[in-house]
Amino acid sequence: MGGGGGASATNIMVVMVVMLSVTWLIPARAGPSAAQCKEERALGVNACRSLTEGKGLTPQCCQRVRVSHAECICPDVTPGMLALIGDVNRAVRLVERCGRRVPHHFKCGAITTP
């Protein structure tokens, strides 16, 4: 047991380091909490208020679009909200103009993208 123990311990250490590295590099994919979603929606409404006022996109709005979680935003997308923006195609163009890709046939609340 004396001679093989060192190699075995080294192998275990290497495996542990690799596992920890992967854990740190690939964060857990747990979704945001209800409180985080509520905050995210409030930040989005404030940052993108210019759209409801007939003005264009602002850098603050685009930043919120890029970092917001679909699972926080989509449950609140209603036909009334879509009416404020105009139509689905316009909404998709606005999101894409901010640098976020929108998949075809993506269901988000009351709308489905073309």
User: Which residue type, as a one-letter code, is found at position 18?
Assistant: V
Local confidence band at 3 (pLDDT 50, 70, 90 cut-offs)? low
- For the cut 60, the answer to whether the pLDDT of residue 1 exceeds it is no
Residue with tokens 């489905």: 112
Q: State pTM to two decimals.
A: 0.66
The 10s digit of each residue's pLDDT in 75-106 is 988 888 777 767 888 889 989 999 999 999 99
- For the cut 60, the answer to whether the pLDDT of residue 28 exceeds it is no
Local confidence band at 42 (pLDDT 50, 70, 90 cut-offs)? very high
* Distance, CA of 100 to CA of 4 (rounded, Å): 54
- For the cut 80, the answer to whether the pLDDT of residue 67 exceeds it is yes
Handedness of CA 95, 46, 63, 106 (dihedral sign): negative
**Average of pLDDT values for 41-49?**
93
* Distance, CA of 61 to CA of 51 (rounded, Å): 9
Q: What is the pLDDT of residue 21?
A: 40
Q: What is the pLDDT of residue 4?
A: 54
- Which two tokens mark 57? 């996109």
**Average of pLDDT values for 55-63?**
93
